Amino acid sequence: MRAWSPLVLLALGLALPAAEPVARAAAPAPVPSSAPEGTPAVAAEPAPGGVDPQRWAEVEAVREELARSIAGLRLPDAPAPYRAEARWVRAELLSLDGSYGGVITDVLQTQAAGVVELRVGSPQRDDGNFLGSDAGVARLDVPEAPSPAFLRKQVWLGLDRAFRGATLAYSQKQVALEQLSTDTTIADLGPAAPVADHTDPPVASPIDREGLATLVGRLSARFEAWPGIDNGDVHFQVLRSHETVVSSDGVTVLRTRERAVLAVVADTQAEDGMRLDHGLALHFDRVPAADEALLAQGEALVDRVLRELDELAQAPMIEEEYDGPVLLQGVAAAQFLASTVATEASGYPAPLSDGGRLMDLEPAWQSKVGKTVLPPFLDLVDDPTLAGGFGSYLVDAEGFAARPISLVEEGVLRDLLLTRAPNPHFGEGSNGRARMTPALEVGPALSNLSVRGRRRGYTPAALERELLRRAREDGYEFAYVIEALRDGSVLGPVQRPGAAAYAGTGKLDLPLPGRVYRVEASGRRTLVRGTVLAPVSIRTLRRIRATGQQEHTERLRLPVGAFGGFAADVGIDGVLSQTVDVQVTTPELLIDGLELLVERGEHERLPTLPHPLRRDAAAGESESESDDEAEPEGE
C-alpha cells in the first residue's frame, strides 16, 4: 500500500479505483435548468432532513449527468455503457506535530477530490477487474464548496475519459478471456442494492485547534526526561470528511465522518547501532475535547512509548531461531488476526490479466469455503451492527444494509467479505462489506470481528504452563510470548533491510514483532529484540492450540481489500485517509507454526549530534561556543 502525506488525501489502489486530490475550484453556481434533449428525466426532490440543499442539488445534477452518459455515450463497434458511478469527498484535515515541547506542524486544510467509474458491456461481462488498465476510471476536479453546475461539468468530462478507457479495457479483456482454456461463467457484477437515498445526520463537533496544539506541545515536552531516546513526535490529526456516492442504479450514499488519532512515535539506537522505533495510537471516532482527560491519556501514552522503547534498546538480541509454540497476548492476537483474516477473507475474485487470472493475488480463503480453517472450538463473527463497536455502520458504500455474518463456525469457513463483485462460491449476493476510505478507495473489509470460543479458555498461569509444555515437546526449555506487533499504521515501513523476511508463493508477510519475551520454566521473562516473524501460510490459523479466558478489544485502522490489513504499513500520513475503522475482539492465542527468525544485518553509527530541539543539546552547544571563545584569553 502506497503511503501519502496527510495533506494528500487520495491514492490510486491496485485493483479497485480511487483518486488523487485536486486543487480548489470555482464557487457554487446554480444547476442548469434543463438537460440536453434525450436525457432521461430526473425529478427534483427536496433535500433530506439535515442535508445542505446545495449539496443535494449537486447530487441531483450528478444523477442527471450519469443518466445522460448511460444513454448517450457511444462509439462505433464498441460496447455501450450500462452503469456509472461518481464518488467525491470534501474534507477538513487538522495536522499537528509536536517535538520536544515545540509544535513543528500546525496545518488546517480543506480539500476536495472525486472519481467516476464507468462500466461497458453487461453485468455478465464488462471491463471490470482487469489488471493493467484504468478500466473506466477517471479522476475529477471537485470544488471545495458544493457547486452543482461545476461538478456536473467535471463528471461529464470524466465520464468521457472513462468511456474511452473502459472500451479499450473491454477489448483487451475479451482477448484475454479467449485465451483461457476454461470458460468463465461467473458474472462480473452482481445485482444492485435497492434504490434508496442513504444519508447520515450532519456532524459538527468543534475543533479546538489552539487547545489541541497546546496539548501536543505539552505532551512532546515529556521527551526531555528520556535522554536515551534520539528522536520523537506527538501527532494529533483530525479528519472530517463529507463523502458522497451516486450511482446510475439509483443508490445514493451521503456520509459525514469525524475521525481523529493521537499517536506517539519515537526512535533510537541500541549500543550495537540497531535502529529501533516504537509507536502507539489512540483512535477516536469523534473529535475529542482538549481537556484534562485527554491530556492524562496522552501523558500515559507518551510515557509508555518512551519507557518501552528504552527497555527495547537495552534488551538483548534473540539468541537463536525458534519454531516452537508462541503465545500471542491480547493486543498481538488482535493485530495478528487483522494481518491475516482481514485480507484472506476477502471475497473479491482474482483479477484477470493478459496471461489469465492472477491466482497468486486471490485471497487464500476463497478456495477454502466449506473447509476447516480454524480449530473446531473457535468461531469468527463479523458484526457491523454491534452497538458501540468502533467498526459499526448501517449501510456500506454500495448501498447494502449491514448485517452480521458468521465467517467461521466450528472451525469451518462459511462466509466471506462480499461486495457486488460475484464470488463463485456464493452466487451474486453482497453481504454489505464494501467499505470506502476517505481516499475513495472501495473494497471488502472487516467491521467488528469477534473470536468466540466453544470451550472454556485457560487462565493466564495455565496458558503459560501449556505454552512451556508444548515447547518442551518440541525440544525447547523456553518459549516466546509476543505482547504486541509493530504498528505500521503509525510508524510506516521498517527502515532496516535486515528486518525483512521474504515470502514465497502463497505466504503472508507478518508485521515485525514489537515486544517479545523469552519465557523460561523458572518463570523468568526476558524482553528480547531482533526478532522477525517468518512468512506464514494462512493454514497456520488451524494450529491455534488454546485460548485464554480474558478477551481483549482493539481499535484498528486498516486499508480495505486484499492488500490492506494491519501489515499494510500506511504510516501516520495515511492512517486517517487510507483506512476504515475496524474493531477486533479476541482472547489470547497459543499457536504453533509461527517461526521466529534472528534479524541479521549491519547497523549505522550512532548520531554525531543530539536532536536539535533538545534543551540539553542547545545548552551543550552554547557551552561549547563559550569555551571556544574563552580559549584565546587563556592563552
CA-CA distance, 86 to 357, in Å (whole number)?
28
Helices (H), 287-428: 292-314, 330-344
CA-CA distance, 223 to 233, in Å (whole number)?
9
Q: Indicate the pLDDT class of residue 164, thresholds 50, 70 and 90.
A: very high
Model pLDDT for residues 293-352, shown as the tens digit of each residue: 999 999 999 999 999 999 999 999 999 999 999 999 989 999 999 999 999 999 988 888
What pLDDT score does 39 carry? 40
Q: Is the pLDDT of residue 415 over 50?
A: yes
Neighbours of 466 (CB within 10 A): 17
Q: Is the pLDDT of residue 619 over 90?
A: no
CA-CA distance, 29 to 376, in Å (whole number)?
61
Model pLDDT for residues 97-134, shown as the tens digit of each residue: 999 999 999 999 999 999 999 999 999 999 988 876 56
What pLDDT score does 605 carry? 62
Average pLDDT on 248-270 reads 96
Model pLDDT for residues 535-557, shown as the tens digit of each residue: 999 999 999 999 999 999 999 99
CA-CA distance, 44 to 33, in Å (whole number)?
11
Q: Indicate the pLDDT class of residue 220, thresholds 50, 70 and 90.
A: very high
What pLDDT score does 505 carry? 56
Q: Is the pLDDT of residue 12 over 50?
A: no
Q: Greatest CA span in the chain, whole angstroms?
A: 96
Q: Is the pLDDT of residue 175 over 90?
A: no
**Whole-model pTM?**
0.88
**Would you kindly state where each structural domain of the chain is located, as residue ranges?**
326-598
Whether the CB-CB separation of 278 and 229 falls below 8 Å is answered with no
